[in-house]
Amino acid sequence: MRDWASVVKASSAGVDPGGSPRERAAVLCRAMDDEKDGLAAVSTENRARPEIIALAVVAVALGIVTRFVTRSSLWLDEALSVNIASAPLGQLVEHLKHDGHPPFYYVVLHGWIGIFGSGDISVRGLSGFFGLLTLPLVWMVGKRKGGPTLGWIAVAVVAISPFAVRYSDEARMYSLVIFLVVIGWLLIDDVIDRGKATLPRFVGIAIVGSLLLSTHYWSLWLLVAVGLTSLWKIWKAPDRSARRPWIGLVLAIGVAGVSFVPWLPTMLYQSAHTGTPWAKASRPTAALALTLVDYGGGDYAEQFLGALLIAMALVLGIFGFAVDRRTTALDLRTRREFRGVAWIAFSTFFIGCAVSAVAHSAFASRYTAVIFPFIAVIVAAGICCFASRWIRFGVVATVCLVLSIGAVWNVVYNRTQLKEAAAIVSTTAKPDDIAVFCPDQLGPAGVRLMPSGLTLVSYPTYGNGQFVDWVDYAERNRASDPASFANRLLVEAGSTRTIYVVWSDIYKTFEGKCAGLVAALSAARTPQQLLGEDGDRYFEHASLTRFAPPQ
């Protein structure tokens, strides 16, 4: 069999090196046995091609715009986050006990609101800010893992990823999670792969781990995956010097865990009393499918195509290597530079899914923000796993085009119908009329949009609609009585005040309750439907019914 270098030299020069694809693959597999990666061997470029840089620059420009522009008002989760963060810091723990999240993002958002205000653009700007800070860090990760070409492709993928764009343009903690994970990844890469196992880096890892745990609970499963992997590496290490960086990593994760202990009682209370009553637990396979679809982004067609391309790119990123200009092969031993990254990503995912299944809690694809940077860089590696310059560019451009459709779709998609409902109310309502949100999950977004001067209440607690109390949520909702609530409304409205009901009967644990409320009010007053529920156009949708005073 010929030496691998002759095959590489001929392939890189655009000359057919001869032999069958099987023979050439065997040559490069032998090179990989000698710790020479196939893709790195085929590509002798020490800088990215201009067409790749140009594509990445266009993608970054589009990504910047889409991170700060959207036509949608804040929906439930965003509005609730802003309401919690706007409260005095002394009340934060109590609010979060009734919500279900750790505190760090809310503290940061509280400070941001104090400087920039609580308008839609302002509060979303924080997530956009973290999204922008992430891009150069992703470039650094890609460059370290595969050279300048991979660095530019990775930053292009993240810049226009529908998943990254959405959570850079939503007043939630997921953009911050992605930012922290990339910082942690760079620090761990310094320690493990670049031989820079210094005390400041271990301190940095501990700080990042602590902040992640205080930002989103799925960070627990990421740190568990990294910690267990580190323990296994310590056990397998041949000598003390090889164990040292892994021991330091375990200690850093341990420090992060200790820092989380003061919050542990609150987390346990949340786990026992809040949970995820809005959905059932998902099987890991269903969770994986949902994640790929959301990573693809856009509407149904774009979601399917994007998910398919991402799945194929993941396979190539983990197993693929270029044999020559016409051949890309799979090595089931995986590519060395992404072996550990893929292991951590999928371990985190399946640990989280397993815990969710055991705890009967729901899964949402946004939780995978803790592994999104790993997936994105592996996808970037997969779509550049071609030796031919123009084939590689075509594949990268195609994937970026599909992802960009999902990114732009995020800009034009309306997440809530409540802006339309509030606009209708504002044309007919008088000061001191009553607006009711049924269920209370429509309240946080609705309160921000309704005209001033109205009395705002939410079903079933008769609160002001700003907050949702998730504690023992399902039990309280099922025990509620729409007729009693309607009677209280009618007494408060008297003979002069109009009642507007913003309602939907599709929410879990409210089955029939909101329809029952409307029916009870209809028995006393004539209903007038002003707006129909439109689930095709809106993620958060509701009807609007008006009950004028009796004539």
The two tokens of residue 473 are: 């949520």
Sequential pLDDT tens for the chain (551 residues): 445 445 544 544 444 555 555 555 554 444 444 433 434 433 445 688 999 999 999 999 999 999 998 889 999 999 999 999 999 999 999 999 999 999 999 999 999 999 999 999 999 999 999 999 999 999 999 999 999 999 999 999 999 999 999 999 999 999 999 999 999 999 999 999 999 999 999 999 999 999 999 999 999 999 999 999 999 999 999 888 899 999 999 999 999 999 999 999 999 999 999 877 767 777 888 889 889 989 988 777 778 888 899 999 999 999 998 888 888 888 888 898 999 999 999 999 999 999 988 888 889 999 999 999 999 999 999 999 898 889 999 999 999 999 999 999 988 898 999 999 999 999 999 999 999 999 999 999 999 999 999 999 999 999 999 999 999 999 999 999 999 999 999 999 999 999 999 999 999 999 999 999 999 999 999 999 999 999 989 999 999 999 999 87
Q: How far is CA 80 from the centre of its chain?
A: 17
Q: Which residues contact 540 (CB under 8 A, 6 or more apart)?
A: 75, 76, 415, 416, 417, 418, 442, 445
Select from 180, 181, 182 the least CA-distant residue to 142.
182
19 residue type, one letter: G
The string of DSSP codes covering 276-329 is -TTS----HHHHHHHHHHHHH-SSHHHHHHHHHHHHHHHHHHHHEEEEETTEEE
Which residues, other chains included, contact 116 with Cβ-Cβ below 8 Å and sequence gap of 6+? Answer: 122, 123, 125
Where are the chain's structural domains? 1-36, 37-412, 417-547
DSSP type of residue 458: E
DSSP H helical ranges for 161-278: 162-168, 174-192, 199-213, 219-236, 240-260, 264-273
DSSP at 351: H
- Residue bearing tokens 């021991």: 247
- The residue count of the chain comes to 551
CA dist 260 and 257 (Å) reads 5
Element (H, E) at 531: strand 527-531
Total Cβ atoms within 10 A of residue 114: 11
Task: Tell me 441's DSSP state.
Answer: G
Identify whether the C-beta of residue 507 lies closer than 8 Å to the C-beta of residue 549.
Answer: no
Give 527's strand partners: 547
- Spatial neighbors of 188 by CB under 8 A, at least 6 apart, are 205, 226, 249
pTM, rounded to two decimals: 0.91
